[in-house]
Amino acid sequence: MLRVAVIGTQGQLARSLAEIAAGDVTVTCIGRPQLDLAQPETVAPVLADLPVDLVVNAAAYTAVDRAERESDLAFRINCDGAAAVAAVCARRGLPLVHVSTDYVFDGRKAGAWREDDLCNPQGVYGASKLAGEQAVLAALPAAVILRTAWVHSPFGSNFVRTMLRLGAERDRLRVVADQQGSPTYAPDLAAAILVLARKLAAGGETGVFHLAGAGSTTWHGLAVEIMAAAGRRIPVDAITTADYPTPAQRPANSVLDTAKIASAYGIRLPPWQDGVRRCVARLLA
């Protein structure tokens, strides 16, 4: 039996991990108030003696725009809190999977981003997540950093749920069409992480990996797919980033190259469209 501790209880990934755990894997989700990454001193007392074989840090400050005015909090959670988790794992000799983001890149590359491409975050959120990656690897060089992108699920706040809500309220949608990425269905990501956890516990390769839904699209393309999956014939107008200004700058291209994890672990996620359809079907059921 593989015992996995997940940092986080209410996030999309944490809830997905708890939901799908079965068979030879048990998942224990730990979060506030007992363990709060915004208060790194709460980490060690909870994790120090917990009966566990592997840790997944699925908790993060993810409010991309609000981070521009709450930089101290974003760095405390995404960097200092993450470092505290890694430090306990290092002391106990526990494998760690630390979940990160496509926003560590500036979006200026033409093709998909590889793990060894230069990171150059354009906002506080991405900068805090990159600092977290570096802090985790400094404390635990054998950690796995798992970057993902455009996560959606039946839980919490995400683009799919927002589009379904707006599609029910409005007779026309306007969505940005000049930002490209790879939508990732959280239950698919969770299932892949549990596969990774089993192999990592047996001595698998560590380092930085990318994992996201196969293929790519724009926010506009994603919105069109959501409406189609929901059976709603609502016009979706394509607009530019300039037409929809936000406090934080988003990368124009954050498509992740996932060949490395496919080669090392045989892990590939389904096409992003498949995840969207399953997500919408569940939300409308």
Secondary structure class of 180 (helix, strand, coil): strand
d(CA 171, CA 2): 49
Whether the CB-CB separation of 97 and 142 falls below 8 Å is answered with no
Instruction: Count the neighbouring beta carbons within 10 Å of the beta carbon of residue 156.
Output: 16
Query: What is the enclosing helix (H) or strand (E) of 228?
Result: helix 219-230
Q: For residues 196-224, b (16+ Cβ closer than 10 Å) or e, as one string?
A: bbbebbeeeebebbbbbbbebbbbbbbbb
Partners of residue 257 on adjacent β-strands: none
Q: What are phi and psi of 195, to 5 degrees?
A: -65, -45
The residues annotated as belonging to the active site are 125
Token pair, residue 283, equals: 């939300």
Q: How many CA atoms lie within 13 A of 180 on its CB side?
A: 15
Token pair, residue 132, equals: 């977290």
